Structure 1
Amino acid sequence: MRERHASQGARRAREFEAFVAGAAGRLLHAATLLTAEPPGANPRARRLLTLALAHTYASWDRLRGEDPYDRARQQLALRFARAAWHQYGSFGRLRPSPENVLARLTPQERLILVLRLYEGVAEEQTAALLGLPTERVRAICARAMATLLHPPRGPAPTVEVAPS
């Protein structure tokens, strides 16, 4: 009995290691997009990924045919949303890195944009994951795209008038 549990544990560990080897890079990139941190300095993204993978590993035996990547991505998104909510009282604005174009977006806009465009999650699935109506997800995604495609202009240049 003990050997059987040991072999099941070893098999589980090998399967999970293979999953992480294939999925961790993409999940880390998604987490980095969510946090709007620079790719080389992304401690919040790495922590999000670590927690999402830990949760996925803990439920590995209960997946029963469910896609582990989808589970890890869900955990990543939910943990990001929860952290943004607790840190700012709502999905407030966070500008972690001004040179990052995604920093112009609210955390909620970033979350929806990353899920929809980078991860290719359908509107209905995104809405269900976040507990929002599909129309709201569509509107937030459109607003985020408009913000990225048409950034606000800086202040108008001052014109010096020559004395007459």
Structure 2
Amino acid sequence: MSERQTGQGRRRAREFEAFVAGAAPRLLHAATLLTAEPPGANPHAEQLLTAALAHTYAQWDRLRGEDPYDRTRQELAARFARGAWRHHRVRGGVLERLTPQERLILVLRLYEGVAEEQTAALIGLPVERVRAIFTRAVRRLCASPPTPPPHTQVQAAS
């Protein structure tokens, strides 16, 4: 490998590391919401994010001015929509009462702030369908309060 290629590889790695340092916490939170895992216990969200970041890294030199955050979010949503993560059981995240499609649309629209039209294009649904699913998801969340997490009672020492 030439010195030029080595230098470009190091530059690419530094740029990507800086991107991950800034974007990974928010992307992990989005992945945790998608997989409906409780915060702190999110191995499937981490796997989902790692796969999305790996895809972004592989495409890094071809981004050419495209926002790497948008590209990673798109990949995260696409991988979630394909359902590879679905082999696990939902265990108590905030959005556990929603269907995977409702979670995806809600996270993209509310948490990530993606426009309705962009969300529809990203997941391949008509805008009207995205709007209807979003409305249903919000109603479901507002209809009943979340189930409190189980906790152990601490007995007071006498």
Partner of 1:104: 97
Q: Give yes or no for contact 2:109–2:119 (8 Å, CA) kept in 1.
A: yes
Partner of 1:124: 117
- How far apart, CA to CA, are the structure 1 residues paired with 2:53 and 2:86? 22
Q: Give yes or no for contact 1:101–1:148 (8 Å, CA) kept in 2.
A: no
- How far apart, CA to CA, are the structure 2 residues paired with 1:95 and 1:109? 17
Tell me how many residue pairs correspond in the alignment. Answer: 145
- How far apart, CA to CA, are the structure 1 residues paired with 2:35 and 2:94? 12
Q: Give percent identity, aligned residues only.
A: 77
Partner of 1:4: 4
State the SS of the aligned residue for 2:118.
Answer: helix
Q: Give yes or no for contact 1:34–1:80 (8 Å, CA) kept in 2.
A: yes
Larger Rg: 1
Q: Which runs of 5+ in 1 are unaligned?
A: 89-93, 153-164
TM-score (norm. length: structure 2): 0.87
For the pair 1:20 / 2:29, whether they are aligned, the reply is no
Q: How many angstroms does 1:66 deviate by? A: 0.3
Give me the CA root mean square deviation.
1.8
- How far apart, CA to CA, are the structure 1 residues paired with 2:49 and 2:41? 14
Q: In structure 2, what residue type is equivalent to 1:147?
A: R
Q: Which has the higher contact order (CA 8 A, sep 6+)?
A: 2
Summarize deviations over 1:98-134 as a string: whole Å, max 9, x none.
4x33111000000000000000000000000000000
- How far apart, CA to CA, are the structure 1 residues paired with 2:89 and 2:102? 13
Partner of 2:155: none
1:113 to 96, 106, 114: 106
Q: In structure 1, what residue type is equivalent to 2:20?
A: V
Partner of 1:51: 51
Q: How many angstroms does 1:83 deviate by? A: 1.5
Q: Which runs of 5+ in 2 are unaligned?
A: 146-158
